[in-house]
A and B are shown apart, each in its own frame.
Chain A
Amino acid sequence: MKILRILLLPLVVGMLVLSGCSSTGTKDGMEGGAGSGMGSESGTSTSAAGGAGKWTGSPLDDPNSPLYEKVIYFDFDTAEIRPEYVDTLRAHAEYLVNTPDARLVIEGHCDERGSREYNIALGERRANSVKRFLEAEGVSPVQLDTVSYGEERPVNPGHNEAAWAQNRRAELVYQ
């Protein structure tokens, strides 16, 4: 099983390149009231786009920056980072390395299937998987923290495959 996946991986990456990479929608600002990361503290500053359409604020808020992507999605019952998110995570790693004051909380989330506490554990595994990736890219562990919400905070309240796919995620929440 494991071997198969490894063999298939280059193929999957290749297909993604051909299809021009996937976009996972604009997620920013959707979690209003969820109580995390909405404020801007050390390391990030936000401002609106200038009149000329040129971005003058933090690259984290620039829709044209790879840093704008702050959610990555997972397959069912796994914490493996899909190849299409490697570029996004590398961009965040680079930003964090270059911005030592920046602090990131990685939230792990699951779909609703199965046991709630097991999903808390699975969500943590997803958050840690992202954390390890960033550390491997040179980010200081001091800048990173994780929290798992399991299935307790879905973004899509539906009960179907599409909703579940949106809920199996890690969110990068800059503090």
Chain B
Amino acid sequence: MKKLFVLLALLFVFSQAQARLVIEITEGVEGALPIAVVPFKWNGDPARPPSQDIGRIVAADLQRSGYFKTLPENQMLAQPSTMAEVDFRDWRALKQENLVIGSIEANGPGGYKLRFQLFDVYQESQLIGYNFTTTEKDLRAIAHHIADLVYETLTGTRGAFATRIAYVVSEGTVASPRVSLRIADSDGYNAQTIVSSTEPLMSPAWSPDGRKLAYVSFENGRPSIWIQEVFTGKREKITSFKGINGAPAWSPDGRYLAMALSRDGNPDIYVMDLARRKLRRLVRHWAIETEPSWSPDGRKLLFTSDRGGSPQIYQIAATGGNVQRLTFENKYNARASYAPDGKSITLITRVGSQYRIGVMDLATGSITVLTDGKLDESPSFAPNGSMIIYATRHGGKGVLAAVSTDGRVKQRLALQSGDVRDPVWSPYYK
């Protein structure tokens, strides 16, 4: 697999001053599905084209997923924008199985009308076709939505391009750091700082509707858990007990927040009823208990505990009761969370002296190591379960990377300044 190392080094550097993510695919799959995405035709004033190149965004998304190999524009024999202009023989000659075409036109001030079609080149038939009306600021979102539709049609799995990631960036020096919590589109664009501090920020957690983030902030020198509305910036301090206030995790119905608190002596798992602000201790033990994470059906929680002498993953019913140890392979397992289908978990696992990202099949209990870094951490599933985003080190700094759940495709999302860490993939927006 390492031998596949070459390839697909696509970089798209973008203009936003703050964000500057570079995405490179570091390992890809042979046998990725060839697809041609023709640049969408602008049917308007040539001097005033839309700010975003829809076709290129769609192509980049598909390419980045690792399941597709997109045709470079300079190899295209024609650039049709309507079905009448498509000569399927051209695309067969280029060994393309699928073709995406589209066009965009003005629709009132600041508005656009978009049309796209996906074809099966060999069947010479349309698989899907859609019209959208949108505005300038939502053009990228529409492009990701189109990529999701293409992805779902051709793979049978819902796409996760129109989702977001949250992560923490540390800039400045050891003596005077500047820490920011940011959110960005799943391709790294549109990065926005939602809170920044001279004190540590950590452990962002999305609410199940994707509208809020819980996180830990050390402002005032002590950790507190905060909940912030992503779209309004409005925020509220949820806990500031003595000791640790950490590792917030939302229940799938959004009503409860699990967390690690050490207010009663050492870190245990608590669950807060958010409406009533009522706290219940779910796990009580003299050892370290932290990093709770809910099962997709809300019935169980995972957590990390070192009660057996080293950190391992345990499970407990959301109603309490017996604790079951899940991990027995490797001496260090931590920061686990369930896959969206609840059948596997992703975790940090130590292999020799290296910390890597693994997936454990809950039926067999065996851990598959997906990454090959030394200090990989904070794994988080994409909401369709196809990829896992995590933090790793590259070129002397912390960067974000994603790996397909089967370990075949890896990509790096490298912020050009600062140390990036603690990524978490958003749910689907509701």
Contacts and interface: CB of A to CB of B under 8 A. Distances in A.
A159 B244 contact: no
A113 B200 CA distance: 17
Given A113-B355, A154-B174, A118 B218 contact: no
A56 to B, nearest CB: 28
B360 to A, nearest CB: 15
Interface residues of A, number: 33
A92 interface: no
Contact of A117 (B177, B247, B310): B247
B386 to A, nearest CB: 24
Contact of A116 (B218, B288, B422): B422
Interface string A107-125: 0000011111110111011
Interface SS of chain A:
loop
B202 A152 contact: yes
Interface in B249-271: 260, 262, 266-267
B183 to A, nearest CB: 19
Nearest to B262: A124
B186 interface: no
Contacts, number: 102
B223 interface: yes
A36 B200 CA distance: 13
A156 B396 CA distance: 13
Given A115-B304, A117-B203, A117-B290, A35 B198 contact: yes
B334 to A, nearest CB: 4
Contacts of A36: 221
A114 B222 contact: no
Nearest to A1: B309
Contacts of A30: 175
How big is chain B's contact interface, by range? 35 or more
B334 A33 contact: no
Nearest to A36: B221
Given A116-B203, A121-B260, A155 B174 contact: yes
A113 B377 CA distance: 9
B246 interface: yes
Contacts of A32: 175-176
Interface stretch (A11-19, A46-54, A81-89, A141-149): A141-149
A114 B244 CA distance: 18
Contacts of A152: 200, 202, 218
B377 A114 contact: yes
Interface in B285-316: 288, 290-291, 304, 306, 310-311
B243 A116 contact: no
B29 interface: no
A138 interface: no
A118 B288 contact: yes
Given A118-B335, A124-B243, A35 B174 contact: no
Contacts of A114: 311, 332, 334, 348, 350, 355, 377
Interface of B: 174-177, 198-200, 202-203, 218, 221-223, 243-244, 246-247, 260, 262, 266-267, 288, 290-291, 304, 306, 310-311, 332, 334-335, 348, 350, 355, 374-375, 377-378, 393, 396, 421-422
Given A114-B332, A115-B335, A121-B260, 20 more contacts: A35-B221, A114-B311, A114-B348, A114-B350, A115-B334, A116-B335, A116-B377, A116-B422, A117-B247, A117-B290, A118-B288, A118-B290, A118-B311, A118-B334, A120-B246, A121-B246, A121-B267, A147-B221, A155-B174, A159-B374
14 contacts: A31-B175, A32-B175, A116-B335, A116-B378, A117-B247, A118-B291, A121-B260, A124-B243, A124-B266, A128-B266, A147-B222, A148-B244, A153-B200, A159-B396
